[in-house]
Structure 1
Amino acid sequence: MMRLGFATRRRGLVSAVAAMLLGAALLTQVGPGPAGASTLPTGFRDNIVLSGLTNPTVLQFAPDGRIFVGQKNGVIKVFQSLTDTNPVTVADLRTQVNDYWDRGLLGFAIPPNFPANPFVYVLYAYEAPIGGTAPTWNDACPTPPGPTTDGCLVSARLSRLQISGNVMTGSEQVLINDWCQQYPSHSVGTLLFGRDGYLYASAGDGASFNNVDYGQYGATYAGDKANPCGDPPGAVGTALSPPGAQGGALRSQSVRRPTGPATLDGAILRLDPATGAGVPGNPFFSSTDPNARRIVSYGVRNPFRMTQRPGTDELWVGDVGWGAWEEINRLVAPTTATNFGWPCYEGTSPQSGYQGAGLTSCQSLYSTPGSVVAPYYAYNHNACVVNYTGCRTGGSSITGIAFYQSGSYPAQYNGALFFADHSRNEIWAMLPGTNGLPDPARLQSFVGVDAAGGAAGHPVDLKIGPGGDLFYVDMENGSVHRITFTAANQAPNAAFTANPASGAVPLTVNFDGSSSSDPEGRPLTYSWDLNGDGTFGDATGTTTSYTYSSSGVYHPALRVTDDQGASDTTSVTVTAGNTAPTVVIDSPGASLTWKVGDPIPFSGHATDVQDGTLPASSLSWSAYMNHCITPTDCHAHLLQTMNGVASGSFTAPDHAYPSWIELRLTASDSSGLTSTTSLRLNPRTVVLTFKTTPGGLNLTNLVVNEAPRSTPFSVTVIVGSANSVSAPSPQPFNKSTYLFTSWSDGGPQSHTITAPAVNTTYTATYRKR
């Protein structure tokens, strides 16, 4: 999240990491059923209604009742209804889509008069630079240039697809191919149709999520080409420097550039759905620059999800933050240019990393009060959005936003704004105030963390669907959830485990239904169908066992009933007469440690009682970066998959510390049974110490979401990682003013340090004015 990165963290001396973690492992659901791992207000229930998807990222309900789901890999599925368990593939854009880290197919829109207007619209990372031909990178990024070192350049596409029945007909019509993206996050975001009939699109800055990035990176890209997007004031191949640099994250401010064209990065667009051109009424429509004519709002970092407030033209944008703040931004009118300030601002304050870099583009905003619109609401990474036992802090990424109108929910939710966080696995409701607008003083937890740590899956999209209910897409678990309400007695949630779930006959399986629950805490009775023949009553009680004497695939089920007669049923699959494979990672060993850019070779094998040694085609490898809030509180995001091979290699990426790589090997036997084993690989770290002469002056860093820190201080980083540092100048100290003169490593006032292999001290020298 995507390394849908949907989570943010800090890196070295500057805030870090990708906005969404979208790309962790998928767990295919057996079938629709209750989620059962979250807490909701009384009367609400969270149910899985669509499942078996692969990294779903976006959901749309068509006017004719069909449900379209876009997958990150570029495959679009259509369900005929919420009870359809056999979706049809509408289109397969995998060749064109760059499915890597946070990149992929992320936006999807349907015209309000579909299917009379027989088009659907897609927004995705394109597998080639602007003007190139896909596939360029094959959903990977070699080193060099390295995905988070200098980045593999791609672009993005807004296209429309003509639909006949349930499938695409004809060829893809590309409306826009733009959005230069150097790094594998802050990619494209949402597509939606406004009530004015125009198409709205959002996209991030495509810049580094590890460091302050103003266009200085890319030295090893495609033959030593720094600044590969060609941002002003230099051409491709010229590394930019303060104060005049306009590249990197400053692409979000490109419409303000004194020279050079506007880019679509870090902006909200309002478009003609037939042509992709800007439309009359847009604030820069009189410009000769076609990109400027498209832009209605800018200065956003990763506006992954946005929605329109019902009955208005307002856009409400969830902008994924960097080291400190997640934002909800309100664009009141698309006819007025609105600058939300990124990267010069984060939350309501100047972003200290970019402020410390002394960039003219930011300084002009700081010196012009009112030039930037503050967030409507922002929440800090170190604070709970709503305080309750178990509420989460730390890594954060706002990844869903939707307005509730009316339906079965209690009237207090009419006009409420729901918003979700993929990293925290929570959904909140901002109830309306007396003026009808969502009121930040009326926040409440909607889908929260339960006592066992369960939560709202990994939401990456919120939509209002049939019955006015809230739906959300759980990317990692490959499912779509529906949250329903009834004032009557709530049905319980049936859940159980089967151990073992496969093996030679006779196979004795132990069943445990103790994880079943009732929303109101009512007592439950248990009834089991152990042989899978559809007849319950084979056993009662919380636990039981059963011996399968004949080979076959069975579907034992559990029905739980509360004391008012409401019940719920769920089942699992047991395979008798077949055992799952035994999987072994032969190399590397667990003692291996890595630094940024290291090739990590791997090899493994699998054997099966029935099939013998399994061929390489039965093996699937995945490498995950476990991104940690603390050394023990981590979440995984996918780096790379390698299918059908017994050996290979991948490259250790640049990443914030604490973090570690997990290598997983999965094997499938001829009957489809799978087993997975994993290996933890820790990084090599180094301590960087920062001082000033005289001592006690401040240096800019965002290691712990702070403003400039008083020296001396030390930070632990991964060997080989890139770390930004700035020496603010001038700065007052002990009733005097000090001016920066030099760094001990010879770097400029703001520069990037590649972490050496040994502990090192860096000293900034100042002189008294």
Structure 2
Amino acid sequence: MRIKLYSLHRVFCTAFFISIFYTIVNSQPNVGYMEMIPASAGLTQPIELASAPGDIAGRFFIVQKTGEIRIWDNGTLLPTPFLNINPLVVDDVNGEQGLLSVAFHPQYATNGFFYVYYNANNGNIVVMRYQRSSGNPDLADPTPNAAGPYVNIPKPFTNHNGGHLQFRIEGGVNYLYFATGDGGSGNDPFNNAQNPLSLLGKMLRVNVDATTPSVEIWGRGLRNPFRWSFDRGTGDMWIADVGQGAREEINYFPSASVNPNFGWPCREGLIANTNAPAAGDCDTVNPVAINPIYDYQIGGAGRSVIGGYVYRGSAFPSLQGIYFLTDFFSNRLIAIQPNGSGGWIVNEVTPTPALSNIASISEDASGELYAVSLQGSVNRVIVPVVTPLTLTKFSGKPFDGYNELLWTAESEEGIDNFTIEYSRDGTNFSPVGKVSSL
């Protein structure tokens, strides 16, 4: 099989990568993982990845559950943490609590403000503002910024902590959103999630630039929304809410809507919770609870849903507009996308290599996605560029005034065509051409 290529000699001077794909009539996206930070790099319980607005490409902030934020700078893990608040964070290596999230102010490049979400030594949920060091962009001032939002929410139990921060700009106002769990135990015994006087079991927001920032309840009825996100393309909200013992659920809420009630503890997924506390009158839930767009039974499919993001990057156009989620225990990857008629297409995909204990699917400043494993690795979500069949021969040589590639394969059954792409860095690929497999 022969493909004629121009300029092949220039490509080989840097690096040449070949990808061969086959076309199947199937709605399942082709997804895989590519290791960016190996477990051997030295991260300790990484739980989230974030990018800072205006920062250089390839530079990421890695949140460690143990109380540190590390910087991964284009292939190097910097030895000194960007921030270390370990003494302030509860020691809960085998539990749910710890330093759980970071969010950077939209004007971080000029003001240096960022916000962290953690459990204090007494278990309380704390949201605190810090600031980048004035003299070193790789270090933060370890003293909390007293002028910034300071949230301290008592919790009755150690579980159900929520744990994600994200900004959304609305009408020129910088709102910091964060979701809290119901306070723990089972079945929300104090009915916190429906109680309008409690900040537990809620989606909350703060105007961080207000003279006196105050917490607003934006939504209610959540059990343990450990991972949720905004779609950067639409502003829509996606919330993964960990279930009690019956259902894990994904809630979708359009950006133009307000005051959502997600149903807990009166409902778990799409079914009624018959063990809801007597304090909660589930016959008069107001506003009326909205249905999740997807739920699954707790068991073999998983028992701790991890919400991700809608892919809005540019590297993999075939993933555009697809929402990805996983499960901490089953590690299966689910893709959800609109069906064009107001509904949704849900597919389970099988990425390779297999990962375990994924604590978050994070998004960088360019909209690319990353699976963060609590075991120490960070892996980019990609469309695989490996061959789906065995090549028995592959070579490149000049021929008749052109540069050409030649290869043979063990089998071409089910393959429509071969696509050739090249890359100078192993990450950004450009198409060269296609050839039929016939």
Would the aligned equivalents of 1:433 and 1:442 in 2 still touch at CA under 8 Å?
no
1:376 and 2:330 equivalent?
A: no
- Change in Cα spacing, 1:441 to 1:170, as seen in structure 2 (3 Å) is closer
- Change in Cα spacing, 1:371 to 1:431, as seen in structure 2 (3 Å) is closer
What CA distance in whole angstroms lies between the structure 2 residues aligned with 1:57 and 1:373? 29
2:328 matched residue in structure 1: 422
Would the aligned equivalents of 1:125 and 1:188 in 2 still touch at CA under 8 Å?
no
Quick one: which amino acid aligns to residue 179 of structure 2? S
1:113 matched residue in structure 2: 107
Quick one: which amino acid aligns to residue 220 of structure 2? Y
Q: Out of 472, 479, 502, which is 2:377 matched to? A: 479
| Alignment map for 1:346-365 (pairs within 5 Å) | 346-354=268-276, 358-365=278-285
Q: Out of 138, 143, 153, which is 1:166 matched to? A: 138
Quick one: which amino acid aligns to residue 375 of structure 1? P
Quick one: which amino acid aligns to residue 327 of structure 1? E
1:254 and 2:195 equivalent?
A: yes
Q: After superposition, give the CA deviation of every residue in 1:341-392 in whole Å (9 maximum; x if it has no partner).
A: 11111112220111xx544533433xx7x7211112212224xxxxxxxxx4
What CA distance in whole angstroms lies between the structure 1 residues aligned with 2:258 and 2:109? 32
- Change in Cα spacing, 1:326 to 1:44, as seen in structure 2 (3 Å) is closer
1:56 matched residue in structure 2: 46
- Change in Cα spacing, 1:42 to 1:207, as seen in structure 2 (3 Å) is closer
Would the aligned equivalents of 1:408 and 1:467 in 2 still touch at CA under 8 Å?
no
In structure 1, the gaps of 5 or more residues are: 1-40, 129-153, 215-246, 256-261, 279-289, 383-391, 449-453, 491-518, 526-563, 567-769
- Change in Cα spacing, 1:524 to 1:180, as seen in structure 2 (3 Å) is farther
- Change in Cα spacing, 1:198 to 1:334, as seen in structure 2 (3 Å) is farther
TM-superposed CA distance for 1:44, in Å, is 4.8
Q: After superposition, give the CA deviation of every residue in 1:190-214 in whole Å (9 maximum; x if it has no partner).
A: 10011323111111012204xx452
1:405 matched residue in structure 2: 312
1:445 and 2:352 equivalent?
A: no
What CA distance in whole angstroms lies between the structure 1 residues aligned with 2:369 and 2:257? 30
Would the aligned equivalents of 2:129 and 2:150 in 1 still touch at CA under 8 Å?
no
1:79 matched residue in structure 2: 72
What CA distance in whole angstroms lies between the structure 1 residues aligned with 2:121 and 2:211? 20
What CA distance in whole angstroms lies between the structure 2 residues aligned with 1:172 and 1:524? 61
TM-superposed CA distance for 1:334, in Å, is 7.3
1:99 and 2:6 equivalent?
A: no
Q: Out of 267, 275, 283, which is 2:202 matched to? A: 267
| Alignment map for 1:297-336 (pairs within 5 Å) | 297-333=219-255, 336=258
Would the aligned equivalents of 1:80 and 1:87 in 2 still touch at CA under 8 Å?
no
What CA distance in whole angstroms lies between the structure 2 residues aligned with 1:403 and 1:430? 9
What CA distance in whole angstroms lies between the structure 2 residues aligned with 1:84 and 1:478? 15
1:69 and 2:38 equivalent?
A: no
Would the aligned equivalents of 1:124 and 1:188 in 2 still touch at CA under 8 Å?
no
Would the aligned equivalents of 2:70 and 2:78 in 1 still touch at CA under 8 Å?
no
Quick one: which amino acid aligns to residue 484 of structure 1? I
- For 2:160, what is the secondary structure of its paired residue? coil
Structure with more relative contact order (C-alpha pairs < 8 Å, separation 6 or more): 2
**Aligned-residue CA RMSD in angstroms?**
2.9
What CA distance in whole angstroms lies between the structure 1 residues aligned with 2:259 and 2:116? 25
What CA distance in whole angstroms lies between the structure 1 residues aligned with 2:88 and 2:337? 41
- For 2:308, what is the secondary structure of its paired residue? strand
- For 1:253, what is the secondary structure of its paired residue? coil
Query: How many percent identity over aligned positions?
Result: 28
Q: After superposition, give the CA deviation of every residue in 1:252-311 in whole Å (9 maximum; x if it has no partner).
A: 1120xxxxxx22111111211245966xxxxxxxxxxx65xx110011000111111233
1:126 and 2:116 equivalent?
A: no
- For 2:275, what is the secondary structure of its paired residue? helix
2:405 matched residue in structure 1: none
Q: After superposition, give the CA deviation of every residue in 1:71-109 in whole Å (9 maximum; x if it has no partner).
A: 11111111222x114343111111111132101111211
TM-superposed CA distance for 1:312, in Å, is 2.7
Higher mean Cα deviation, 263-272 or 43-52?
Answer: 43-52
Q: After superposition, give the CA deviation of every residue in 1:314-353 in whole Å (9 maximum; x if it has no partner).
A: 2111111111111111233477211111111111222011
1:553 matched residue in structure 2: none
- For 1:172, what is the secondary structure of its paired residue? coil
Q: Out of 150, 154, 159, which is 1:180 matched to? A: 154
Would the aligned equivalents of 1:408 and 1:468 in 2 still touch at CA under 8 Å?
no
What CA distance in whole angstroms lies between the structure 2 residues aligned with 1:303 and 1:460? 13
What CA distance in whole angstroms lies between the structure 2 residues aligned with 1:334 and 1:117? 30
1:90 and 2:82 equivalent?
A: yes
What CA distance in whole angstroms lies between the structure 1 residues aligned with 2:327 and 2:113? 31
- For 1:54, what is the secondary structure of its paired residue? coil
Moved over 4 A (4+): 41-45, 275-278, 521-525
Quick one: which amino acid aligns to residue 349 of structure 2? S
1:461 and 2:360 equivalent?
A: yes
What CA distance in whole angstroms lies between the structure 2 residues aligned with 1:46 and 1:523? 25
Would the aligned equivalents of 1:408 and 1:486 in 2 still touch at CA under 8 Å?
no
1:337 matched residue in structure 2: 259
TM-superposed CA distance for 1:189, in Å, is 1.1
Higher mean Cα deviation, 425-434 or 185-194?
Answer: 425-434
Aligned residue-pair number: 353
- For 2:199, what is the secondary structure of its paired residue? coil
Would the aligned equivalents of 1:303 and 1:318 in 2 still touch at CA under 8 Å?
yes
Would the aligned equivalents of 1:401 and 1:417 in 2 still touch at CA under 8 Å?
yes
Q: After superposition, give the CA deviation of every residue in 1:497-535 in whole Å (9 maximum; x if it has no partner).
A: xxxxxxxxxxxxxxxxxxxxxx5455699xxxxxxxxxx
- For 2:169, what is the secondary structure of its paired residue? coil
| Alignment map for 1:582-661 (pairs within 5 Å) | none
Q: TM-score, normalised by structure 2?
A: 0.73
Would the aligned equivalents of 1:123 and 1:188 in 2 still touch at CA under 8 Å?
no
Q: Out of 198, 220, 231, which is 2:175 matched to? A: 198
- For 1:455, what is the secondary structure of its paired residue? coil
2:415 matched residue in structure 1: none
What CA distance in whole angstroms lies between the structure 2 residues aligned with 1:524 and 1:342? 58
- Change in Cα spacing, 1:119 to 1:188, as seen in structure 2 (3 Å) is same
TM-superposed CA distance for 1:410, in Å, is 4.4
1:599 matched residue in structure 2: none
